[in-house]
Amino acid sequence: MSEDQLRQRVRDLVAEVDPESASQFEFRGAQFDRGLSRVDFPEGKGGLGLSPKAQTVVDEELRKAPRYWHDLHVNPIGIGMGAPTVLAHGTEDMHHRLLRPLFTGEEIWCQMFSEPGAGSDVAGLATRAEADGDEWVVNGQKVWTSLAHRARWGMLVARSDPDAPKHRGLTYFVADMTLPGVEVRPLYQITGEAEFNEVFFNDVRIPDTMRLGQPGQGWNVAITTLMNERVALGGGVPDRGSGLIAVLVSAWVQHRHRDSAAEGPGAAEGAQATAAARRRVLRDRVVKLWTEAEVLRLTNWRARTLASAGTPGPEGSVGKAVSAELNQRIYECLIDVMGSEAMLFPEGYPMCRPEAAEAASHRLTPPIKGFLRSRANTIEGGTAEVMRNILGERVLGLPKEPGVDKNTPWSDIPRN
């Protein structure tokens, strides 16, 4: 399919299913049926069997429509991580049952890997899954689970063989979050929201038909999820100068003369010089950050052109590591540009649980809220230190971190 044909296919969708009058579920359902949800997916499963980079053409055309539903606002974890994992490791029945409502946002997804004693070392997790006929009985606790309070399905990794080395005794499931024994509790953040949750499993019975991959091979499936997570968190390929950097530039234009009173005719010479110097420093910071944002955008574009369906390569770790730290620096500069005004938190600390599927990291206002939320960027989805290890080992070819427990049975490894 040529680029012109693909663009026309999107235009036909918008013409036939008016995004202004159709609901999110109707429009995105039609988008899925026409193979325009993930064009690199097979036909009949939301795609057209094209290269992943062709999705940028689809997204570009959809943004021209009167109304546009961004994947990361509809079902960020399901679309960014769940869909490629189900496609790569699920059965045909799972493909046809799960992919369409996942993409439309009718069924929200969450990811349940981290535990109180297994954060960066995910393979050290302790949640148990014991086979019982054609079901698995799961007991344990997961933590930092975004959107678990809204989710219908959760990606769950549990330990099915405690006597195997930690990476080889795991099994991966798609867990129905409405099953008896699943308990979700809020975890409140410094923003006053409980975007994250802790999830408890008490004798939860999961059908074997909801297992992804072979028993004991859950780590291989989890790698697919983790690599796609880093691609999703690293960001897509937005328009030049858009997104968070556009917020900073707009704030600079609005506030750049905030100290003009100190530079007036009646101001002291020292005050004038200080105000002018401050403005020059902030201007340079804004320009430097805009340049870094553009470099990241182009890097993500290159990563997308190199990507393949299924398990992406380490390129996603580049985008994730850079974008996490860049977001923090942009918000820090934004606070400085706006001055005392940016210190106000009009909402207070509401102690609420967000009902929208949209990830909190994509809500840009008020600035202080984004600033506080961005503190988590270098932790979630793999810490900045873990990302550097991955890049050092898999991209630069540096020696691996020592792994003294690699072949030790999990049950023999000391734990807190």
Question: Looking at the domain assignment, is residue 252 inside a domain?
Answer: yes
pLDDT score at 187: 93
Neighbours of 103 (CB within 10 A): 25
CA distance 359 to 45: 25
What's the CATH number where 12 sits? Answer: 1.10.540.10
Question: Looking at the domain assignment, is residue 306 inside a domain?
Answer: yes
Look up residue 307 and give its two tokens. 């990507």
- 49-64: pLDDT as tens digits: 998 889 889 999 999 9
- Give percent of the chain above pLDDT 70: 89
| Preceding omega of 366 cis (within 30 degrees of 0) | yes
What's the CATH number where 355 sits? Answer: 1.20.140.10
pLDDT score at 361: 44
Domain final residue pick, 48, 76, 104: 104
CA distance 324 to 150: 25
Closest CA to 338 of 371, 296, 385, 305: 371
By residue range, what is the domain housing residue 179? 109-217
Cβ neighbours for 367, distance < 8 A, ≥ 6 positions apart: 247, 251, 331, 334, 335, 338, 342
Active-site residues: which are they?
229
- Structural domain count, the chain: 3
- 147-193: pLDDT as tens digits: 999 999 999 999 999 999 999 999 999 999 999 999 999 999 888 88
Is the confidence at residue 210, as pLDDT, over 50?
yes
pLDDT score at 306: 63
- Give percent of the chain above pLDDT 90: 56
Least confident range of 169-178, 259-268, 294-303, 385-394: 259-268
CA gyration radius for the chain?
23
Measured CA angle at 341 (ends 336, 346), to 5 deg: 125
Domain final residue pick, 154, 186, 217: 217
Q: What is the mean pLDDT of the chain?
A: 87
- Three state DSSP letters for 185-248: EEECCCCCECCEEEEEEEEEEEEHHHEECCCCEHHHHHHHHHHHHHHHHHCCCCCCCCCHHHHH
